[in-house]
Chains A and B, each alone.
Chain A
């Protein structure tokens, strides 16, 4: 079954304790992205990646790191979590079509979400 998986689905942690949220897709998608969803602010992009070893900042990258060592995985790392990072996190992936600079992404499919609480 084609899917995007995230782990853990729920996490409660304390300020400053490093954590990693994993994201994996089995669709051979080039493009992957992390969003956070907050009440009143909607979904905002944190980081994205257009292929292995190619990552870039989205709108709200502060306090987060990512890596893309394999095509299927795109973990989100919080080195020193703070309460303002309490949120619902989504990983998304999609195909890329065309050639640079005319790339276009296909439909972005989302993982089930990770609800993170930082105390």
Chain B
């Protein structure tokens, strides 16, 4: 079965702290795609990153970095030197590789960055 687990429901940090959001996935496919989306208080879903199962290189984009480990089925997201504008709900998602091509979302982690 395809499943995405984000065990952290809410995280609260003080500005400039580093924070890691965990994502664990389950899939029987050997080829799969993982995503992170951000949902700020305004409600839209903003694409952050896409990763395929054959590319285990970690990625860094400014203050954001992602650690993909197939051995532990994890795709964790770290924000370095967090800012108030990072406050949002963050979703990890797995692409379902059947005919629907739907995204299987985790339940989301609400991040609150306090000034």
Which residues on A are within 8 Å of B, measured CB to CB? 31, 33, 35, 40, 42-43, 45, 48, 50, 56, 58-59, 88, 90, 92, 94, 103-105, 107-113, 115
Contact = CB atoms under 8 A, between A and B. Distances in A.
A108 B35 CA distance: 10
A86 B91 CA distance: 22
Interface stretch (B66-74, B77-85, B102-110): B102-110
A33 B102 contact: yes
A97 to B, nearest CB: 11
B101 interface: yes
Given A42-B108, A107-B50, A113 B103 contact: no
Interface residues of B, number: 21
Nearest to B103: A108
Contacts of A115: 43
Contacts of A33: 101-102
Contacts of B37: 110
- Classify the interface of chain A: helix, strand, loop or mixed: strand
A107 B47 contact: yes
Contacts of A59: 102
Contacts, number: 56
A44 B37 CA distance: 15
Contact of B100 (A58, A107, A110, A112): A58
B55 interface: no
Contacts of B99: 50, 56
21 contacts: A33-B101, A40-B107, A42-B91, A42-B107, A43-B91, A45-B102, A50-B99, A50-B101, A56-B100, A90-B45, A92-B103, A94-B101, A104-B101, A107-B35, A107-B47, A107-B50, A108-B35, A109-B47, A110-B37, A110-B45, A112-B43
Nearest to A90: B45
A56 B46 CA distance: 25
A90 B107 CA distance: 16
B95 interface: yes
